[in-house]
Structure 1
Amino acid sequence: MSAHVISGARLADGSTTDLAIVDGRFVEVADAPADAERIDADGLLALPGLVDLHTHLREPGREDAETVASGTRAAARGGYTAVFAMPNLTPDTDTAEAAQYVAELGRRDGTCEVVPIGAVTKGRAGTELAELGLMARQGVRVFSDDGACVHDSLLMRRALTYLKPFDGVVAQHAQDPRLAGPGACCHESEISGRLGLPGWPSVAESTVIARDVQLAEFTGGRYHACHISTAESVEVIRWAKARGIHVTAEVTPHHLLLDTPHVETYDTTFKVNPPLRTSEHIEALREALADGTIDVVGTDHPPHAVQDKDHPFDVALPGMLGLEQALAVVMEVMVGSGRMDWPTLVERMAVAPARIGRLAHQGRPLAVGEPANLVLVDPERRAMVDREQTASLSRNNPYHGRELPDPVELTVWAGRVTYRR
């Protein structure tokens, strides 16, 4: 029997409590066995385990960049107890069998829960719907061609319609391929012109979302906008929510903190898709996350091997590590600035992503009878980020050399300690 007693923890609402865990659930402290491990949480916050709707684990196919084992260790170090694994694998997660395999890898090697995301189209090629119904019958509830946009309006309509009876959600990588083609890599602005980098205009994102939310209204389906990065997208989502459309949205930690001038060094660590934007867009994203227009923080954690980043900027693969510093960035940008309190952080990083992904046993209150998924957080600890001190196999960390909160003391998933400082 696994048992722990955590004493003196402060909850998000400011109250202090003792927590007891026996066999994966919270129990009354009096019911904990005498030999339970005692954990002193004085000065620490106890929060529900974090949930990431947008993780790239790379296995199967690119185990040189990340594996389920290494990626979930990074997740646990970041305070996560569940991650949704994007389908851009080899092979793509576009069949029920492929989804089952990803879930099995998670059960075998994971130090947090791994939930497969199914592809919307076969091979994520955008031409023919994947096995949506068969994957949904296996429990898949989130579907995305992430890394590629479902740009065909008819396919998007069909996907939203087909998934509605299954309570599935289409998570869109919004990038109009005509406005921002495969080579686009820098926010279209004075900087892109000066650096000679192909521009990625903000409207290439917002126009796709504008089309999609109207299709969601027409079909009654559920729609989720991945990694939004522009003020225009915020306004479209705000409009859609005011109309009662079933739309949710996410923002990444890096789009909350890092801006376009970081690319002036041509350091490919800062190449990401969608690209880093200007301060005006960042301010709109922060405001939208605070007021709930943006529902969740999704890491878009995309590990890359050194050889995939060691190219000219416009050729290198896009993406930045996110799992281990996501909480730190949100604390720095949102909580530290007074824009967000701890209960709202819990809503954006645990409760809402679990709700959108229909993961009923995650993002739950720290209460007797509930599954024991939690993270203990030191709200005062800070440290310099070192990309070499990581559980990930990759090193494309954009926060390297930056001082940030270093909050995670302990992560517990289903009653098991998965990370301890």
Structure 2
Amino acid sequence: MTTILIKNANLFYAKQVIKSDLLIEDDKITQIADEINERADKIIDADNKLVAPGLVDVHVHFREPGQVHKETILTGSKAAAHGGFTTVGAMPNVIPVPDNVDDFKNQLELNKQSVIKTLQYAPVTMNETEDKLSPIEDLAKLGAMAFSNDGHGINNAKTMFDAMLRIKAVNSHLAAHVEDQNLFNKGVINAGPVAEEFGLPAIERVAETSQLARDLILAKETGVHYHVCHLSTADGVKLIRMAKDAGINVTCEVTPHHLLLSDSNIIKDDANYKMNPPLRSENDRRDLIDGLLDGTIDMIATDHAPHAENEKNQGFLKSAFGITGIETSFPLMYSRFVKTSLMSLEQLLELMTNKPAQIFNLSAGEIKIGADADLTIIDLNKSFEIKKEDFISKGMNSPFIGQEVYGQIQKTFVKGQEVYSI
């Protein structure tokens, strides 16, 4: 039996940070106490370091199969470990879309390359774009974490209604990319003064909010757990707030980039600022922050979307949508939200560990005796510059490169195995 003793940790335990030791035996946490003096194969002195549950990200794109020039399951999972994440949910917009039993089984096999726990979404509809539903019952039995057509809105209300009924029947979750394709209208940037200044086709806010309003009514009718991916608008926050007050089974996520950036940050035709949904106005950004702080928004998710350099250096019109984010998420949020006293460290950790795990019924996000030893050790006092050369992801498409942040990930463990060390 392999034992690891972590001493003098600032341990995030039972929703608070306490000074404690922690013992790992094989793959489990077996002791948490003020002082543990047992012999161990390895002793780690975590003095002045935060020891947190491995972070949980319910929204990533690992690109394999079909687009391995952008990312692979191995590089994506190693990047996640570098970011302190030990459990992620991988979206099904790979090639081929795993919309049948054989392709889904193949995806699960490929995911075994992951150095962390990579859970798999199944598509709601065939190829994520058709009105015909995927074999929801079969994919749920194979272990689909949830169902999502991420990257595509479901424009047919009957298709969405039927999907909700069947996903509810298998006691799963529907994670929606809310986007009315007709209102999206091949836009590349948020509608507003910046779009007008650059003469770029614009994405209206109602592309998100009109479909969201429809879906909330359908969710009320069906009772399905309806989860909203990457919420980006002030009106979207209001709709979610009203829906929760009305008792609708809805949750939602927000990305670090929508919390930290608005379209006012776009000062040149740089597609590192091109993502879907787009960066909205400063007013939208402020309302997203308010929604996060008051509990309307349930969690932070990265929407990690890596691309090759030549796919992001062609300006807004021709470049792909997406931002790589899993390696920078915690340091950015800690630096811009906790260090500035917008929220407490405990609040941030809840939003990035326990809350997403709880909502998606995952065995993750919490340090407790008997749990898998999925942990990350973070030096909150260590400042560093976000540099391309430090990324493990194949994707370096980030507008945050060059920024100074705090909260360096030192080590990450999955089931007691060290999967990242600085």
Q: Which of the five TM-score ranges fits, normalised by the shorter chain?
A: over 0.9
Amino acid in the other structure paired with 1:2: T
Question: Residue 237 in 1 paired to residue 240 in 2?
Answer: yes
After superposition, residues 13-412 of structure 1 pair within 5 angstroms as: 13-28=16-31, 34-107=39-112, 109-181=113-185, 183-359=186-362, 361-364=363-366, 366-412=367-413
Deviations 1:230-270 (A, max 9, x none): 10000000001111111010001111111213333111111
Judging changes above 3 Å, is the alpha-carbon distance between structure 1 residues 32 and 72 closer, same or farther for their aligned structure 2 residues? farther
Amino acid in the other structure paired with 2:9: A
Amino acid in the other structure paired with 1:417: E
- Extract structure 1 runs of 4+ deviating beyond 4 A: 29-33
1:312 and 1:28 mapped to 2: Cα distance?
53
Q: Percent identity?
A: 35
Structure 1: runs of 5 or more not aligned = none
Q: 1:114: how far off?
A: 0.7
Amino acid in the other structure paired with 1:3: T
Counterpart of 1:74 in 2: which secondary structure?
helix
Counterpart of 1:299 in 2: which secondary structure?
coil
Q: 1:355: how far off?
A: 2.2
1:282 and 1:332 mapped to 2: Cα distance?
17
Deviations 1:277-328 (A, max 9, x none): 1211111111111121111111000110122223231121010001001111
Q: 1:33: how far off?
A: 6.5
Q: 2:7 maps to which residue?
A: 7
2:358 and 2:144 mapped to 1: Cα distance?
14
Aligned length: 417
Amino acid in the other structure paired with 1:9: A
Judging changes above 3 Å, is the alpha-carbon distance between structure 1 residues 132 and 208 closer, same or farther for their aligned structure 2 residues? same
Q: 1:35: how far off?
A: 4.1
Q: 1:177: how far off?
A: 1.0
2:98 and 2:340 mapped to 1: Cα distance?
40
2:313 and 2:135 mapped to 1: Cα distance?
36
Deviations 1:125-169 (A, max 9, x none): 132111111100112131111111011111111111001122111
2:254 and 2:401 mapped to 1: Cα distance?
21
Structure 1 stretch displaced more, 40-49 or 5-14: 5-14
Amino acid in the other structure paired with 2:162: R
**Cα contact 1:171–1:226 (8 A) shared by 2:** yes
Structure 2: runs of 5 or more not aligned = none
Counterpart of 1:395 in 2: which secondary structure?
coil
Amino acid in the other structure paired with 2:215: D
Counterpart of 1:380 in 2: which secondary structure?
strand
TM-score, scaled to structure 1? 0.96
Counterpart of 2:163 in 1: which secondary structure?
helix
1:341 and 1:102 mapped to 2: Cα distance?
38
**Cα contact 2:379–2:410 (8 A) shared by 1:** yes
Amino acid in the other structure paired with 1:311: Q
**Cα contact 1:142–1:170 (8 A) shared by 2:** yes
TM-score, scaled to structure 2? 0.95
1:207 and 1:332 mapped to 2: Cα distance?
34
1:100 and 1:7 mapped to 2: Cα distance?
41
